[in-house]
Amino acid sequence: MVHLFSPIDVRGVNIRNRIVMSPMCMYSAEDGHVTHWHLVHYVSRAVGGAGLIILEATAVEERGRISPLDLGIYRDDHVDGLAKLVDLCKKYGAAVGIQLAHAGRKAEDYPPWERSVRKVRGSKHAIAPSPLPFGKNWTIPREMSVEDIKEVQGSYRNAVKRAVEAGFDIIEIHAAHGYLIHEFLSPVSNKRKDQYGGSFENRVRFLLEVVRIARSEMPDSMPLWVRISSVDYVEGGWTLEESVELAKILKKEGVDVIDCSSGRIVEDEPFGEYPGHQVPFAERIKREAGVLTQAVGMITSYELAQEIVANGRADFVAIGREFLRDPYLPVRWAQKAGVKGMVPRQYLRAW
């Protein structure tokens, strides 16, 4: 039986268990660079037993940042800090990934704690497939030309090269949560009349081209994850059926794992959270597309995490906020599961 603590090999990368630290923005970077905060924060989760740590949304372009405090991988001088962070996390047994991101129309030019006092949110540099704002009080983004599309894809290429150079084990492409790639996928935000809008084939084109670029720059031995919003919770939005079709295509293109989140294509959406609420998406995509999946969303107990993996509903469970509450979550869950050898030697007297 597959267990939450069963190791898994993806393209030869060994991941010690199925517990993934979900990507979470820390808003602690300086000019895109890794700071001491990132070292302490991520390395603690490696010591705490995470199988895979996926670094927060890391901008492939300066104008694609969710905030000016995002990590960046849009210049060569960002690589050293990332490489040091990767090295330390690996030293403590975790595999490490980077989430490559572009915020599109959700880019913002100020720190997140200023959001609530802003009359108009967004960035004057924001670009998107169509000139439609994310919400009522948001800047209208500039519609991307085909040249803009090629330029952004060039930035993804450079970011992938830098991620390989920094020594990451895996790369995740952020195609969820209403950011640039999701904006191309969803008919709600993509009203283009050219080859990048309209039909399903056209809306997925931007992502597929990014995936091909990524695969062409990554060694065969390096796995590729894609995070999607499996459904939009709005009329006329992206559907779960489209996610299944997309997953089949991505698998053929060399994507190894579909990370199944949901929603956030518009500001005003009925988004209900409860334990395991996105697991059915991971389960259906896994079953119908025959691809490895990662479930995420309020997976806060060992029992739920184990149920998801052992019943074959997903191959990985990504943990977000519970990992912010407890860096040693996998060690605690291992105790519950009776799995030995997870407690760091230095901490044994406490267990």
Closest CA to 275 of 307, 253, 247: 307
Q: Mention every residue, 6+ apart, whose C-beta is less than 8 A from residue 189.
A: 105, 128, 129, 130, 132, 178, 182, 183, 265, 266
Segments in 194-338 forming alpha helices (H): 200-203, 205-217, 240-252, 279-289, 302-310, 321-325, 329-337
Between 224 and 299, CB nearer to ligand FMN: 299
Q: Work out which of 15, 25, 29, 95 binds ligand FMN, going by CB under 6 A.
A: 25
Shortest separation between residue 340's beta carbon and ligand FMN, angstroms: 26
Is 57 among the residues that bind ligand FMN (CB under 6 A)? yes
Per the structure block, which two tokens stand in for 111?
Answer: 């720190």
Is 38 among the residues that bind ligand FMN (CB under 6 A)? no
Shortest separation between residue 55's beta carbon and ligand FMN, angstroms: 8
Q: Work out which of 78, 106, 177, 284 binds ligand FMN, going by CB under 6 A.
A: 177
Cα separation, 267 vs 156, whole angstroms: 26
User: How far is residue 296 CA from its own chain's centroid?
Assistant: 11
Whole-angstrom CA distances from 59 to 6, 71, 72, 101, 305 are: 32, 6, 5, 5, 30
Is 16 among the residues that bind ligand FMN (CB under 6 A)? no
Between 197 and 276, CB nearer to ligand FMN: 276
Between 319 and 334, CB nearer to ligand FMN: 319
The position carrying tokens 């796995």 is: 223
Shortest separation between residue 317's beta carbon and ligand FMN, angstroms: 9
Is 174 among the residues that bind ligand FMN (CB under 6 A)? yes
Cα separation, 100 vs 61, whole angstroms: 10
Is 63 among the residues that bind ligand FMN (CB under 6 A)? no
Is 298 among the residues that bind ligand FMN (CB under 6 A)? yes
Residue 240 has a CB neighbour count (10 Å cut-off) of 17
Is 296 among the residues that bind ligand FMN (CB under 6 A)? yes
Rule CB under 6 A: which of 248-277 touch ligand FMN? 261
Q: Work out which of 106, 227, 284, 313 binds ligand FMN, going by CB under 6 A.
A: 227
Is 82 among the residues that bind ligand FMN (CB under 6 A)? no
The region of 74-82, 129-137, 152-160, 172-180 touching ligand FMN under the rule CB under 6 A is 172-180
Please report, as a single letter, which amino acid is at residue 38.
H
Shortest separation between residue 194's beta carbon and ligand FMN, angstroms: 28
Residues 154 and 166: beta-carbon distance below 8 Å? no
Cα separation, 7 vs 200, whole angstroms: 36
Residues 340 and 7: beta-carbon distance below 8 Å? no
Ranked by CB distance to ligand FMN, the top (closest) residue is 320
Between 192 and 316, CB nearer to ligand FMN: 316
Between 22 and 243, CB nearer to ligand FMN: 22
Residue numbers at the binding site for ligand FMN (CB under 6 A) = 22-25, 56-57, 99, 174, 176-177, 227, 261, 296-299, 319-322
